[in-house]
Structure 1
């Protein structure tokens, strides 16, 4: 490790053993700097570079996830004497408006009343519900970044609430139209910083149906008296969430349905009523890497597994097939996959591991890919946008470094491309793993490292 970097780490009390580092020419050749380059480390969200690049190469930039609304039988005089089927195929853009549009098109075809059930078809991924029984990643499972996706994830299963304080006290306004859900609060107003509203937050309580068959969600804890926020909470089981949403939207559209909600598969003879497609992958990779979206990344990883041609009759889970797809791509690129540990493809994992050399090789493959424009345009630009909008704002890296960020409680990482002071294109990977240092300590070190690289004149090799 170059002496200036070692001295900076020592001054912060962070051992050099906490860092894995590669600085190499983007066009190929031996690295200029390599420190613990072969050590398998937790990459945090820099693992999204693997998922998005392999997806571009395997699925193509025009790939889209899809949702289909089907009828189990042909409606007669506006009445469906059967089930309405909502079938998911990894459509990450299925929000409330998209679902409303699907139902509107069914109404436009003359459908008024559904006599059967609403069937939720998640069979595109196996198993259909990996969220059931999964241990929480941290102590805040109700927040959006912790949502575990499936093939039919509507609006990320999130209930959006607006919280504000007026002369009546704290007001909680539901923004997601869910039938039969009442939202109340038992929160205490306190003097506090609105930017730290979650200091007094407690997990909400979901109460069973009571008077007038209403489900009640109770917010708990404390709330700053001068604070307005819109929160998105993952608190309802997703079958219940979709059922309440469809019930409300269908009623607003003038439709009738009193049936149950159940999981199942669309019958082969089902009639297609409407279809929705996500944005193309060329746009989705930006939506993943710029803001570091875990749910989109995990859904894309599962879609890779769905598309991977596993041996017939293997019966393997979609996650296993996704891993096979990634390892096959590594092999085709000549990247040694020893030490690589894959979990969900997003980096929101305690298990995932990759070496700095492997991640540098992935970035280098992205630079050389025929889909390089789409891949590189998805990376945050230092001081400009994404997760780097407020980082590296002034200095040699600003405006030219394209770096994916990664953060966990013990991890800070940067990986991507930038130029040195002579204009030479570089691949840079820096991963800190330190159980004793928190991101507030490690992040300035990672930024200082990127700035140091941008000011160097690396001799071509």
Structure 2
């Protein structure tokens, strides 16, 4: 994120003051930038052809500014606006993901009465329903409710983990890496269970001689090997510069089922209840780590089924329960009875932190929820989501012909939409029934989210609400900007160029110009 320097901010404000309000949008010729914006852009060294803009008052769509507006552009995280708006309309602002504990049986029958001895002799099904809030404590509370309210103390039939809401059930397996850091949170490809967002927290601490690694929570059965993690001189803030992707290896001698999982890392689990569990997997850390450095980082480095099995076993036994048999992947029967259910926040509430913080993984989870709701028999979830969003665009009067979708989060080199179509979508949504909900999700200039440090001291501060987009070779802004009279504009501006970051002040100057009209 780039913050406008004080000299640049003053230059923009000075140019705006000198230009006054006489240069309104009606005086701009097609393809012309306002003088103060053109002056800022000229200093970036980025060709004007790399910039595409659509900006106009909502009540005057024929006015405003248009520059390369019909060119499909890589929009980075501004593509999240499509997923959010489509989900609000197609799923509903009160829709919620859920996680369930079920048993085989008639769902319309009376509540389950367990055997007098508390043993459940058929499998317990842990079914994922794209629950964005299923963290460790939520799973523990579900198991506690099973233990105390249902009176079950022994899971003799084992546990079956059902991720089949999405097709394929494990979408991360075999998927190509987006970049060289697939283990970091922004790169997580969610499945329908989404247990703790597929992340585990790691504390890495070094002195002059050694590195200590401790995960949290300390799930049993994992051995951490740090022999290939070498100490080196360097700044602690750059700790991951020469960090290499850890390697996760299930140990075949033990019964825990595991799937080979490149680019995933296990956790070192220390003693639990005074006992050291036998290792069922090994995590090998590689590369270098700075001396005298302390880092806490969430990582996507464990095989998900291995982690789920470890978590279920340890949390259940900590509640005084027993678990016989394996924790395996499978599918709950169509006739299954829900014993315990957990739900995430309503979609309208969930989208607020998701878009303000530009959460890739949760956006992808919501995109997959769209696909699951729209999928035809036998259709994979991702193409169903892509089709559902394009069909929704047509209902908004936007031709999706040249719109390219991949994962719905903008973490993609292929996703494309033109500024004109993005602006038309935003204008249509604002006029529709869910305009207020979408507006509430957007970062506020100079106040919160990914815009908390931008637009300070400019006319847009505290007023513009816009989604940011940043990738290598891409910077973008899309959203709503009130002008000086309070009239609301829709503004979409994108730069695609290898030097795009240098031209970010152009976008800030454009938004400031609109706010000063």
- Which deviates more from structure 2 when the two are superposed, residues 68-77 or residues 323-332? 68-77
Aligned to 2:198: 157
The reply on whether 1:100 has 2:127 as its aligned counterpart is: no
Aligned to 2:95: 63
Q: What is the CA-CA distance between 1:191 and the residue it aligns to?
A: 4.4
Aligned to 1:443: 504
Aligned to 1:193: 235
> What secondary structure is seen at the aligned counterpart in 2 of 1:366?
helix
Match of 2:66 among 20, 23, 34: 34
CA change 1:217–1:370 in 2 (3 A) is same
Q: 1:61–1:280: 8 Å Cα contact kept in structure 2?
A: yes
Aligned to 1:285: 351
Q: 1:44–1:406: 8 Å Cα contact kept in structure 2?
A: yes
Q: What is the CA-CA distance between 1:9 and the residue it aligns to?
A: 2.6
May I ask how many residue pairs the two structures share in their alignment?
451
Inter-partner Cα distance in structure 2 for 1:320 and 1:191: 47
Q: What is the CA-CA distance between 1:442 and the residue it aligns to?
A: 3.4
Aligned to 1:452: 513
The reply on whether 1:83 has 2:110 as its aligned counterpart is: no
The within-5 A match list for 1:345-424 is: 345-424=408-487
Q: 1:6–1:16: 8 Å Cα contact kept in structure 2?
A: no
TM-score, normalisation: structure 1: 0.92
Inter-partner Cα distance in structure 2 for 1:158 and 1:285: 20
Structure 2 unaligned segments of length 5 or more: list them.
1-31, 106-111, 254-276
Q: What is the CA-CA distance between 1:124 and the residue it aligns to?
A: 1.4
The reply on whether 1:46 has 2:78 as its aligned counterpart is: yes
TM-score, normalisation: structure 2: 0.82
> What secondary structure is seen at the aligned counterpart in 1 of 2:439?
helix
CA change 1:322–1:28 in 2 (3 A) is farther
Inter-partner Cα distance in structure 2 for 1:438 and 1:191: 32
Q: 2:119–2:154: 8 Å Cα contact kept in structure 1?
A: yes
Q: 2:423–2:491: 8 Å Cα contact kept in structure 1?
A: yes
Match of 1:326 among 389, 408, 412: 389
Q: What is the CA-CA distance between 1:387 and the residue it aligns to?
A: 0.8
Inter-partner Cα distance in structure 1 for 2:311 and 2:223: 13
CA RMSD of aligned residues (A): 2.1
Inter-partner Cα distance in structure 2 for 1:231 and 1:382: 28
Inter-partner Cα distance in structure 1 for 2:293 and 2:63: 49
Kindly provide the CA deviation profile for residues 42-82 of structure 1, in whole angstroms up to 9, marking residues without a partner as x.
11110111111111111211110011011236642211212
Aligned to 1:118: 159
Q: Structure 1 stretches (4+) deviating beyond 4 angstroms?
A: 165-169
> What secondary structure is seen at the aligned counterpart in 2 of 1:185?
strand
